[in-house]
Amino acid sequence: MVERTGADHEIISRRSFLKTSALAAAQLAIPGVAMAGIHVATRRRLLSFHNLHTGENLTTTYWLDGEYVAEELARVNYILRDFRANEIKPIDLKLLDLLVALRQRLGTSQPFQIISGYRSPQTNAMLHANSEGVAVHSLHIEGRAIDICVEGRSLETLRGAALSLGRGGVGYYPKTGFVHVDTGRVRWWGGAPLARPRLL
């Protein structure tokens, strides 16, 4: 369940919850997503998040006994929403499974601290206008990218773990304090790679 800190964060309304649940159900109807191609835990897949912008926390088992759990996906979609526009988009299931693999590689139970999840086209355009580090056609717009850090793990360690998975893009932003991971083609930026990614 999503927890909030601060008086500005209201409980999710029934309408918002039904909307996010419908989006999550739609995720499960997309062909090919049931097996996301990431080798992770076989019985359950658990993730924890802390949204640095909203103060919200979520710990969820979003995949259990061979199936994605629509209600839990709805909660993930909500905490990774575009908080500026208050817009929700289904998050790529391959991205969630990648995060599970990354969590295992890091050997931590600490939550992923969210700098940026889904971005609406309007939010992305605004950020692009103010920063050279934001792509015009960012995978954040498609719900296929997340910018994160992890307490107790250096950015260099996080970057190295992401590179070692050899899946998707890895961006290194030490000045602003996060690592970008996505489910696009294998590539890296923000410094020389620590090692050539293994393609699995």
Distances (CA, A) of 49 to 58, 74, 115, 163: 5, 14, 11, 21
What letter represents residue 130's amino acid? N
Check residue 8 and give its pLDDT. Answer: 41
Yes or no: say if 114 and 148 are a contact pair by the CB < 8 Å rule: yes
* pLDDT of residue 68 exceeding 70: yes
Check residue 198 and give its pLDDT. Answer: 35
Percentage of the chain surpassing pLDDT 70? 74
Mean pLDDT of 116-143: 92
The structural domains of the chain, with segments of one domain joined by +, span 14-189
What pairing do the DSSP bridges indicate for beta strands 169-173 and 178-182? antiparallel
* 142: helix, strand or coil: helix
* pLDDT of residue 197 exceeding 50: no
Identify which of 26, 73, 66, 18 has the alpha carbon closest to the alpha carbon of residue 47: 73
pTM, two decimal places: 0.78
pLDDT per position as a tens digit, 34-43: 444 444 556 8
What token pair was written down for 195? 């090692």
Instruction: Show the DSSP H helices in the chain as ranges.
Output: 14-29, 70-79, 93-106, 121-130, 155-165
Looking from the CA of 88 toward its CB, the CA atoms found within 13 Å total: 21
Find residue 173's DSSP bridge partners.
178
Yes or no: say if 169 and 187 are a contact pair by the CB < 8 Å rule: yes
For the ranges 3-7, 50-54, 153-157, 185-189, the lowest mean pLDDT is seen at 3-7
Check residue 132 and give its pLDDT. Answer: 76
- Residue 51 CA from chain centroid, whole number: 11
Check residue 34 and give its pLDDT. Answer: 40
Q: How far apart (Å, rounded) are the C-alpha atoms in residues 155 and 129?
A: 26
Residue for token digits 């739609």?
Answer: 26
Q: How far apart (Å, rounded) are the C-alpha atoms in residues 53 and 67?
A: 31
Mean pLDDT of 165-180: 95
Yes or no: say if 50 and 35 are a contact pair by the CB < 8 Å rule: no
Q: How far apart (Å, rounded) are the C-alpha atoms in residues 106 and 114?
A: 17
For domain 14-189, is the CATH number 3.30.1380? yes
